[in-house]
Structure 1
């Protein structure tokens, strides 16, 4: 959902812990172009370089899908993706996010983020155990020139300022947590992930090679989203856990909706 605190507070208790995640806008833009190539703002562009050479041709501020191509994160956090670009506005936006959220994670440091989340919520390693999903095949990834990377930062100034601000605050939190302690906990998390991966998975495969088609990840744009096959012969408790860990977000959301609906009756 697109975040709006006043609406969320209507249905959530005062004690709610709010957290979100941001990502380097350079890799985010490269990914968005691949995932959302079929929407109007990207459809006609041959490449990201072509898009940035002809932004006035491809990008219209009144496009319903404009946020996919400009300041995607700022939009998701409830701001105008075509909003003012000034030092004052950047500062106010970052401060607003800082006030609304108890913790802002960094996608580029996902394991460190999970450790901070675990600590903040008094969770265990089992609570943050995960297997990476939504990986693209390498042949749908694009290596960007330094020039294009700088254009992305300049084009997505709201997102870039959010990322710089919260990247700095993130590492301040890591310092408070303890660098050595963080190093040890990340190592423990990765060890547990390796163990569960060895128990669960035959390997990462093209979606057409998936044995359980109901777990096929959604395919979008130019991206080829890979899936997983479970090892045969798993005992029931392991099979249930492993299947949860590789269920894509659309299918998982449907499971949560069914559970919520059941609980209402």
Structure 2
């Protein structure tokens, strides 16, 4: 029997995802649990103010991670920064990434020599804090987002099977059955199916399968992530993550309301057998341990920063706002770019993973411009910001060509 692994490994928000649950997550009985020592020693992130008045943050680094809906959060930052006339650290030559999968270097940023610091950095990179800090202010707020490793690999298979080790197989089950226990990727950055979360955070994802070594390695990774990042969001609680982000950045609900361009839904998941899901978790044991820890600390941060009841209220309000935005702005969706919208690029046009949007043509000019900001995809938004910040350089390059 084929099953979809969706919400079987983690508790629901209503139960607050807390409690002293014993075990280290390495047995079937312990799945979805968090070790007592991890939970009891965890603390709310430094720099997050608990239900107090604060000033809106404008110096921000967001580490995009693969298949976590990070493009949606990037879009929120694009929209806010563009409206507030903030400067963005953008990749050179109008690229989408900072030379991923190479470790980030300050020299990958366009205009870095002319400008010492930028306000926001949110394009795809393989994180290296020492280099990022060279182009960002000292008071920069760092955050990222994680996703359950099984769900992440399902989505990875759907998205990248054309360019990875998955290209020879029709199902994720066959990949795991064929390569599990003997897969040793020589080029993990191009694989997309092996401990990709920790790889994105800049860590070596080839680690020993020995339990003690893995526990030590996970502790080191978690410690480094807590030092480098003020907040880690969780994809499975996306709306709750947006509300929490709104609080810690001291923004409004309107600032974080969005259309979910690359929504990781049940419909896009590649079904897997239960044994395959178990193998995926073991195969990505480092990601799994990291995910468990931050899945728990997320809800502890919610309690200290927002409160569970207030979170429920604001999530409901956010969803109502987003429904209103959809009903106002949306004319229709399309899987591939329509001939009627030649300049409106979708992020990915294979399968049903990423959908494009077209704007309601009946809107007045003011609402049309507002909706356009909400609906412009990553590719076009990045290009627009690049042209805005480096228009002189862009014109010179065009003239030279």
Aligned to 1:23: 147
Partners of 1:262 and 1:39 in 2: CA distance: 34
Alpha-carbon offset, residue 215 of structure 1: 2.1
CA RMSD of aligned residues (A): 2.4
Structure 1: unaligned runs, 5 residues or longer: none
**For residues 181 and 264 of structure 1, do their structure 2 counterparts lie closer, same or farther at Cα, with a shift above 3 Å needed?**
farther
**Which structure has more helix as a fraction of its residues?**
1
Aligned to 2:89: none
Alpha-carbon offset, residue 63 of structure 1: 2.2
**For residues 137 and 178 of structure 1, do their structure 2 counterparts lie closer, same or farther at Cα, with a shift above 3 Å needed?**
closer
Partners of 2:135 and 2:126 in 1: CA distance: 15
Partners of 1:81 and 1:66 in 2: CA distance: 13
- CA deviations 1:5-31 (Å, max 9, x no partner) are 000011111100000111111111011
Q: Which one is further off, 220-229 or 247-256?
A: 220-229
**For residues 12 and 217 of structure 1, do their structure 2 counterparts lie closer, same or farther at Cα, with a shift above 3 Å needed?**
same
**For residues 10 and 58 of structure 1, do their structure 2 counterparts lie closer, same or farther at Cα, with a shift above 3 Å needed?**
same
TM-score (norm 2): 0.61
Alpha-carbon offset, residue 171 of structure 1: 0.8
Matched, 1:256 2:380: no
Matched, 1:101 2:248: no
Q: Is the 8 Å Cα contact of residues 336 and 346 (structure 2) preserved in structure 1?
A: yes
Matched, 1:68 2:192: yes
Matched, 1:77 2:206: no
Match of 2:245 among 100, 117, 124: 117
Alpha-carbon offset, residue 139 of structure 1: 6.7
Partners of 2:131 and 2:364 in 1: CA distance: 44
Q: Is the 8 Å Cα contact of residues 205 and 226 (structure 1) preserved in structure 2?
A: yes
Aligned to 2:288: 160
TM-score (norm 1): 0.91
**Runs of 4+ with >6 A deviation:** 136-139
Structure 2: unaligned runs, 5 residues or longer: 1-124, 395-401
Q: Which one is further off, 181-190 or 200-209?
A: 200-209
Q: Which one is further off, 222-231 or 20-29?
A: 222-231
Matched, 1:143 2:271: yes
Q: Is the 8 Å Cα contact of residues 345 and 379 (structure 2) preserved in structure 1?
A: no
Q: For this pair of structures, how many residues does the alignment match?
A: 265
**For residues 263 and 207 of structure 1, do their structure 2 counterparts lie closer, same or farther at Cα, with a shift above 3 Å needed?**
same
